[in-house]
């Protein structure tokens, strides 16, 4: 970008050599600073609290834990170092021969141990902390009757509809070790300038090294820049070793479609995908590709540019210098620009390693292995289909336990309320007179709650659902009053008591009579019961208030003969007044009308 196409003879060759020499001096300095961590064969992580499971297929060590479990570690080594450093997911936690930690969240963790004196590390231990399942008991509170067997289950044949549900669907997966690419890097105008862009790789097993040139499949880059003859491109490994990927060649050939003659950063060109590999798609270096692997870009009617085709090419220096470097760490791409007026962009770059080097992915995906109620004295039978219980009086707790393949128990509580119901009442009186026979009932049943149903049977077909009813027992005799109470669990109890209604007195007064001598209803006579004969008076008056008959004999009636003149009274209405005393010594008086018929 920027500038014009020039011939290679215009390059300042001495200045280019000086730039290269200073860059390599800097790289040698970096190598001298690099420290390579070694795998300590005799340094191991030992768990003093949990079994370490060796997965031979994944070549990983695991400890399975429940949420909230503490785990205790101990460093074992023949060196007796006091500088053991413990890490969880690359975060330093403690410097000590021993290390303890409680894992309060589900998921995966990696325990690392290093010996800082020897600058080496132990084989990692991965922690899998299981996920807590969601357990649902429907319902989770049940009302039942004490000391009576009931079945709980989802089938209609069960006494109470009850179901369990367990969900465990959460999965944790170790971060994938994918190809990582850098952020875009602008290559502005520069004279003897060096530009760096790096990527940090952390996904490999600690200490994993490059042991062969074939461990790197490909170095990838998306690039646009005019004048290949101005650039050198180097790659530096985490241990400081350097490989030359491209060395200035091609002069006026371009990488990608550069926006030449425009040196503004915002006007980027089009990058092409290039790469370096020991098994490239083009059999040669980029410098060789300039001669027979280019395409032409028309810039104007009089000007065009030669562009290197997007392919993979052989690196200039090969990959041998990388052998021995760790895969994890900072990989740095350096571009040395020896000429001004030739801007460009690296849009992205990355490294593709051999698949066999990629670390094994692992997951935390615990599964349910058992689900059942823990045995209890009141559990008669416990199966997948139903639970048969015989709860005792009071609040019964049943523990539903779910276990996973990590050995973690999870519980949910079922509460069965089995309370006695006791029916009882007290009447305001248990003996009444038939003319004063209203009785109030005081309900003393237990428990007294809103969910209790009351049924009162008054012994004669009458009933009530009131808590504290009132009833008139005017029928003479003995009636059995029974209270039945039922709670929402269907538990019942009854209590009964007799109410006696006694006679007080009885007065029957005819409304008419016919004194015609036919022997039927010939006299007006009151029929009395439970009254005293010696305390009785009867007076009869005509329509004008004149007395026509009186008697103090309870068995004597009026035959229609008037007292004042001794002749038969005329047909019509007459008034009676009867005064008497009951057997209970209550003085009573009855007044009314009757009709004398001819």
Least confident of 197-201, 219-223, 496-500: 197-201
Do 295 and 190 share a structural domain?
yes
pLDDT at 495 over 60: yes
Could you tell me if 339 and 207 lie in one domain? Answer: yes
Place of tokens 């790469």: 275
Residue 489 is classified by DSSP as: T
Task: Give the Cα separation of 529 and 563 in Å (integer).
Answer: 27
DSSP summary character for residue 561: B
Q: Is there a single domain that holds both residue 191 and residue 264? A: yes
Same-domain check for residues 475 and 539: no
How far is it between the farthest Cα atoms of the chain?
Answer: 175
Region 480-498: what's the mean pLDDT? 95
440 phi/psi in degrees, rounded to 5? -100, 140
DSSP state at residue 230: G
Give the Cα separation of 386 and 402 in Å (integer).
16
- Cis before 139 (ω within 30): yes
The whole-number pLDDT of residue 137 equals 95
Mean pLDDT of 113-117: 82
Report how many domains make up the chain: 5
CB-CB contact of 130 with 168 (8 Å): no
Quote the tokens at residue 340: 């001004």
Same domain assignment for residues 29 and 42: no
CATH code, domain with 233: 2.60.120.260
* pLDDT tops 70 at residue 282: yes
Which carries the bigger pLDDT value, residue 67 or residue 435? 67
Q: Cα(346)–Cα(582) distance, rounded to whole angstroms?
A: 126
Q: Which residue(s) pair with 200 in the sheet?
A: 330
> CA-to-CA distance for 575 and 586, rounded, in angstroms?
23
533-559 pLDDT, tens per residue?
999 999 999 999 999 999 999 999 999
Is residue 470 included in any domain, yes or no? yes
d(CA 403, CA 409) in angstroms, rounded, equals: 4
Query: Do 586 and 530 fall into the same domain?
Result: yes
Indicate whether 1 belongs to any domain.
Answer: no
CA nearest to 294, candidates 321, 274, 270: 274
pLDDT of residue 22: 40
- CATH code assigned at 143: 2.60.40.10
d(CA 159, CA 152): 6
Domain-located, residue 3: no
Looking at the domain assignment, is residue 263 inside a domain? yes
CA distance 504 to 499: 16
Are 211 and 336 contained in the same domain?
yes
- Residue 469, domain member (yes or no): yes
d(CA 62, CA 125): 6
Q: What is the DSSP string of 284-298?
A: S-HHHHHHHSEEEEE
E-only strand ranges, 106-208 = 107-115, 120-121, 125-129, 134-138, 141-144, 150-153, 160-161, 163-167, 172-173, 185-187, 193-201
Q: In terms of Cα–Cα distance, which of 417, 34, 71 is closest to 237?
A: 34
Q: Is the pLDDT of residue 38 over 80?
A: no
121 falls within a domain? yes
Whether residue 404 is found in the same domain as residue 471:
no
Q: Are 122 and 75 in contact (CB under 8 A)?
A: yes
Residues 6+ apart with CB under 8 A from 167: 133, 134, 136
So what's the pLDDT on residue 138?
95
Q: Which of 330, 357, 384 is the last residue of a domain?
A: 357
Tell which of 502, 532, 560 closes a domain: 502
Tens-place pLDDT, residues 356-397:
888 778 999 999 999 999 999 999 998 877 899 999 999 999
Closest CA to 94 of 109, 77, 121, 113: 113
pLDDT at 434: 82
- 32-41, 206-215, 382-391, 497-506: the lowest-pLDDT one: 32-41
| 120 and 47 inside one domain | yes
Which two structure tokens, joined as six digits, stand for 140?
A: 């989770």
Contacting residues for 566 by C-beta, under 8 A, at least 6 apart: none
Q: Are 198 and 333 in contact (CB under 8 A)?
A: yes
**Whole-angstrom Cα distance, residue 129 to residue 408?**
10
What's the confidence (pLDDT) of residue 239?
94
The backbone torsions φ and ψ at residue 287, rounded to the nearest 5 degrees and listed phi first, read: -65, -35
| Domain termination residue (choose one: 383, 418, 453) | 418
By the 10 Å C-beta count (0-12 exposed, 13-18 middle, 19+ buried), 313 is classed as: buried
Residue 458 and residue 473: Cα distance in Å, rounded? 9
Mean pLDDT confidence for 451-466: 95
User: Which structure tokens are listed for 327?
Assistant: 């895969």
Q: Are residues 44 and 114 in the same domain?
A: yes
Same domain membership, residue 591 and residue 448: no
Q: Is residue 440 in a domain?
A: yes
Predicted pLDDT of residue 229: 86
The enclosing H or E element of 531 equals: strand 531-541
DSSP assignment, residue 123?
P
Same domain, yes or no, for 238 and 339? yes
CA distances from 5 to 186, 228, 230, 272, 288 (A): 20, 11, 12, 19, 20
Q: Is residue 290 part of a domain?
A: yes
Which residue segment(s) compose the domain that 551 sits in? 506-596
CATH number at 566 reads 2.60.40.1220
- CB 113: neighbour CB atoms within 10 A? 27
């Amino acid at each position: 970008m920027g500038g014009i196409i020039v011939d290679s003879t215009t390059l300042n060759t001495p200045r280019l050599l000086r730039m290269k020499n200073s860059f390599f001096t800097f790289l040698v300095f970096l190598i001298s600073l690099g420290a390579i961590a070694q795998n300590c064969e005799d340094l191991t992580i030992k768990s003093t609290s949990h079994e370490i499971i060796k997965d031979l297929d994944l070549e990983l060590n695991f400890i399975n834990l429940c949420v909230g479990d503490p785990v205790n570690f101990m460093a074992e080594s023949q060196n007796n170092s006091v500088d053991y450093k413990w890490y969880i997911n690359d975060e330093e936690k403690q410097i000590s021969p021993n290390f303890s930690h409680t894992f309060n969240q589900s998921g995966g963790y990696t325990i690392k141990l290093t010996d800082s004196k020897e600058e080496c590390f132990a084989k990692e231990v991965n922690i899998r902390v299981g996920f807590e399942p969601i357990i649902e008991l429907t319902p989770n509170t049940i009302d039942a009757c004490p000391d009576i067997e009931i079945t709980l289950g989802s089938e209609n044949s069960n006494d109470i509809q009850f179901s369990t549900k367990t969900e465990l669907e959460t999965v944790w997966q170790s971060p994938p070790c994918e190809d990582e690419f850098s952020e875009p890097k602008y290559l502005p105008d520069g004279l003897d300038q060096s530009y760096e862009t790096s990527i940090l790789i952390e996904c490999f097993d600690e200490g994993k090294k490059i042991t062969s040139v074939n461990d790197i499949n490909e170095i990838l880059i998306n690039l646009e820049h005019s004048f290949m003859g101005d650039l050198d491109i180097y790659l530096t490994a985490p241990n400081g070793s350097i490989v030359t990927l491209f060395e200035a060649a091609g002069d006026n050939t371009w990488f990608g479609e550069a926006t030449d003659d425009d040196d503004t950063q915002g006007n980027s060109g089009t990058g092409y995908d290039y790469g370096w590999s020991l098994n490239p798609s083009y059999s040669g270096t980029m410098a060789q590709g300039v001669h027979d692997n280019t395409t032409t870009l028309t810039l104007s009617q009089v000007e065009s540019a030669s562009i290197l085709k997007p392919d993979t090419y052989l690196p200039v220096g090969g990959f041998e210098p990388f052998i021995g470097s760790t895969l994890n760490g900072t990989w740095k791409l350096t571009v040395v620009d020896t000429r001004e007026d030739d801007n460009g962009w690296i849009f992205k770059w990355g490294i593709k390693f051999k698949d066999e080097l990629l670390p094994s992915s692992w997951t935390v995906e615990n599964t349910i292995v058992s689900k059942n109620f823990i045995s209890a004295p009141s559990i008669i039978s416990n199966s997948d289909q139903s639970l048969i219980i015989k709860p005792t009086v009071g609040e019964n707790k049943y523990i539903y336990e779910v276990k996973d393949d990590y050995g973690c128990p999870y519980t949910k509580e079922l509460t069965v309320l089995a309370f006695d119901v006791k029916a009882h009442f007290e009447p305001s009186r248990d003996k009444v007179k038939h003319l004063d026979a209203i009785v109030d009932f005081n309900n003393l049943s237990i428990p007294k709650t809103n969910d209790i149903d009351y049924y009162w049977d008054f012994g004669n077909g009458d009933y009530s659902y009131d808590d504290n009813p009132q009833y008139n027992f005017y029928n003479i005799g003995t009636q059995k009053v029974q209270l039945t109470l039922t709670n929402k669990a269907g538990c019942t109890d009854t209590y009964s008591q007799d109410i006696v209604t006694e006679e007080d007195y009885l007065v029957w007064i005819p409304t008419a009579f016919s004194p015609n001598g036919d022997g039927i209803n010939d006299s007006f006579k009151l029929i009395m019961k439970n009254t005293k004969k010696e305390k009785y008076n009867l007076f009869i008056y005509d329509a004008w208030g004149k007395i026509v008959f009186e008697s103090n004999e309870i068995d004597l009636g009026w035959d229609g003969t008037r007292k004042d003149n001794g002749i038969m009274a005329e047909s019509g209405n007459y008034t009676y007044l009867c005064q008497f005393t009951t057997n209970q010594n209550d003085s009573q008086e009855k007044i009314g009308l009757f009709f004398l018929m001819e």
